[in-house]
Amino acid sequence: MESELDLSERRLSLPTIWRVIGGMGIAAVALCLLAAALGSEGPLIFVAMIAGIVALITFGVIITSIVGLSRRPDDRGFFAASLIGAIVLLPVSLLSSLIAVLFASGPAIAPWGRPLRIRGKMVHPELRPGGAWAAGPSPEVDGLSPATREALATLWHHDAQKEHASVPAFSRLAWLLAGLGAPAELLEETHRAGVQEIDHARRCFALAGGYAGASLTVEPIPEILQAPLGVGRDPLLAVALESLRDGCLVEDFNADVAAIAAEHARDPAARELATIIARDEREHAALAWAVVAWCVEVGGERMRRAIAEAADDLPKEGPKAYADHEAAIVAAADPQAMIDHGRVPAERWAGIYARRRALTCARVKAMLAGAPATDAARAA
């Protein structure tokens, strides 16, 4: 026979308590997994907050139940059930919160080009056989081992995907700047940057195809056709913060890495491409600084505070030289040959990024203080 407990003139069964507690735990995990599947930072942060609140409430239930067990003999069954249920729910809610936070604080920046973000998730095209996007010099592959060629093809194809995604990213920026009434010069430079990214993507595909012995091209990106602009209720602030992170920091960092690659590359095609990317990405960073300066001019003190806070919150860790699933492929390659063909060793990336982040933060402070950027700061 089902045991029942009297509480505040309502009859509550132990199985009902367990259903409620179990339902809360399942709901917390389901919300977390759903938000992670959507890949949106906003829902994930919301889930983390909810799971954190559930954890705090659960702590309260545990304390109340322990006290109730000692002071309310008539309700010990209820308090015992509550205590057991809370102990079960606590790790579930904490785990849900942790998962949500980890997903929400996932890769904030991308290693090449201005990242294309849709609903908070970085997006790039998938690849298929074809040569429609390959246009540029081919590398010299004589003497390269099959493992090294595979690694080079993999990494340059990855770069080609990112460069391709930068094209609609700049188109979106131009759309937003036009909507905000930005000066003609900013729109002109934004469109020029998009055209440069097309050239980068073509050259990356040509280089990668030379290493692979076969060309790949892009699949459609249907997310673009369904995506909102994703700027919320304050488009000016969104443009300013995105430009600070994706342009002032990331694209200057891209230029840093590409310049080092060009300096050490021996292959003519790889060296030429790295030189072009270094030059163009530096120009894209300069455009981003101009966009941020215009946003501050238009937005006034509110925008100045927001930019200062955003600079302090720039990601402490930068992008990796390659994805985790590519590590084994790269490990099998000849390290010197990778450098000769335009790849900067992975162990150097963290130091390059730390330096660029420090320079970015210093330049933000100088800009907000009204001090002009020095020639050295611009060139650094």
Percent of the chain with pLDDT over 90: 59
**Side chain identity at 289, as an amino acid letter?**
W
Cα-Cα end-to-end distance for the chain = 78
Q: Under CATH, which number does the domain 117-379 receive?
A: 1.10.620
pLDDT value at 259 more than 70: yes
Task: Please give the pLDDT value at position 230.
Answer: 72
DSSP strand E in the chain: where? 4-7, 10-13, 117-118, 121-122, 127-129, 216-218
d(CA 31, CA 24): 10
pLDDT in tens, 325-380: 899 999 999 999 999 999 999 999 999 999 999 999 999 999 999 855 544 444 45
Q: How far, rounded to the nearest angstrom, does the alpha carbon of residue 152 sit from its chain's CA centroid?
A: 24
Are the beta carbons of 201 and 267 closer than 8 angstroms?
no
Q: How far is CA 211 from CA 42, 214, 363, in A?
A: 40, 8, 40
**pLDDT of res. 66:** 66
Domain boundaries, the chain: 4-104, 117-379
Contacting residues for 87 by C-beta, under 8 A, at least 6 apart: 62
47-71: pLDDT as tens digits: 556 666 666 666 666 666 666 666 6
From 344, 319, 341, 345, select the one nearest 106 (Cα to Cα): 319
Confidence of residue 4 (pLDDT cuts 50, 70, 90): very low
**In contact, 121 and 159? CB cutoff 8 Å:** no
CATH level 2 (architecture), domain 4-104? Up-down Bundle (1.20)
